[in-house]
Amino acid sequence: MTVFRKAELLISPIAADVLEGLSEQPKRLPPKLFYDAEGSRLFEEITRTREYYPTRTERAILQDFSGDIVRAAGSNLTLVELGAGSASKTRVLIRAILCRQLRLDFHPVDVSPVALQEAVRSLNGDFPRLHVTPIAADYSRHLPELRSQPGRKLVLFIGSTIGNFEPGEATEFLGRVRASLSTGDALLLGFDMVKDPRVLHDAYNDAAGITQRFNKNVLARINRELGAAFDLDKFRHVAFWSARKSRIEMHLESLADQSVSVPDLSRTFHFTLGERIHTENSYKFTPESIAGLLKQSGLKLEKTWSDPRQWFSVVLARS
């Protein structure tokens, strides 16, 4: 046991995911690998591009309807956010909740301790009646024990992160979240909606090339953390809309026949010209697919808020 623990500490936490994904056919790398410090910074930069509409659209919905959302969630709330990141959109809800109660406990859950530290620091300075207790955890693997929390919980899973899950995984995950809710608790979800394919395409192919850098950063990260020798110029960013699968797919396409050694895995991976590594799916939803997903997960859809163009939806659900 002790020996295993020591061995685990020596290799990077991304080693197993990289080995598994690059050994598969077709090759793939899970999207959570995007978010090291550099990747989190690049994602923030994406959200400021003209083409990437989801973040600003969801923020506008939260701003326009925060009072309504918080009222629907109920009184005496404790806030939990899964995949909180920098929690920048959450401020709007925190402000609205603190208009209705004297004190608020907030538990941001995220894999990135750096992002959590940033969230705690900036929120504590701005809201004296807010009490932040960060939880560094991979919530996709095990949800933190929250049942024992006093008060009524409002669990946030916003930002359309649910779009990264395969449909079956989304149902399974929401089913687990549902099981962690007590009577009266509520779940607030963000969904990016199906829309004009050109708008979708451009959001993942911004003219400034930030999304391309974000996608390629996963290779740079494997270079940094596993001593690999990926030449970023020998891969091309590919992102396209699949109407049939209702998702944006992101890939990295090899521009040459090449072998890349990954010393920390004691492995060399071969890439043929044109071969792709599948790095992300970003599913887009319709009112019908949202209703179906919630029903399958055992959740009751209570209320939906959207922007005037209906590009994004924020949904309140209960068990």
Binding-site ranges for ligand AVJ (CB under 6 A): 46, 54, 159-161, 163-164, 204, 211, 214, 280, 282
Provide Rg for the chain, Cα atoms: 20
Nearer to ligand AVJ, 112 or 211 (CB): 211
State in angstroms the smallest separation of the CB of 54 from ligand AVJ. Answer: 6
E-strand ranges in 83-185 read 104-110, 130-132, 135-136, 152-157
State in angstroms the smallest separation of the CB of 242 from ligand AVJ. Answer: 14
Nearer to ligand AVJ, 78 or 282 (CB): 282
Residue number of the CB closest to ligand AVJ reads 282
Q: Which region, left, alpha or beta, applies to residue 80 given φ > 0 means left and ψ of -120 to 50 means alpha? A: beta
Nearer to ligand AVJ, 21 or 163 (CB): 163
State in angstroms the smallest separation of the CB of 184 from ligand AVJ. Answer: 29
Nearer to ligand AVJ, 66 or 161 (CB): 161
Nearest-angstrom CA–CA distance, 213 and 209:
6
Whether 282 and 204 have beta carbons less than 8 Å apart is answered as yes
Whether 54 and 285 have beta carbons less than 8 Å apart is answered as no
Nearer to ligand AVJ, 46 or 84 (CB): 46
Nearer to ligand AVJ, 119 or 130 (CB): 119
Nearest-angstrom CA–CA distance, 155 and 198:
33
Q: Phi then psi for 126, rounded to 5 degrees? A: -90, -25
Tokens of 289: 């697919």
State in angstroms the smallest separation of the CB of 191 from ligand AVJ. Answer: 10
State in angstroms the smallest separation of the CB of 307 from ligand AVJ. Answer: 16
Number of Cβ within 10 Å of residue 263's Cβ equals: 11
Q: Which region, left, alpha or beta, applies to residue 159 given φ > 0 means left and ψ of -120 to 50 means alpha? A: left
State in angstroms the smallest separation of the CB of 161 from ligand AVJ. Answer: 5
State in angstroms the smallest separation of the CB of 182 from ligand AVJ. Answer: 28
State in angstroms the smallest separation of the CB of 250 from ligand AVJ. Answer: 6
How far is CA 267 from each of CA 16, 67, 220, 263, rounded to the nearest angstrom?
12, 54, 17, 6
Tokens of 238: 């590919």
Whether 289 and 169 have beta carbons less than 8 Å apart is answered as no
Where does residue 234 rank: exposed (0-12), middle (13-18), buried (19+ CB within 10 A)? middle
Nearer to ligand AVJ, 1 or 207 (CB): 207
Nearer to ligand AVJ, 123 or 200 (CB): 200
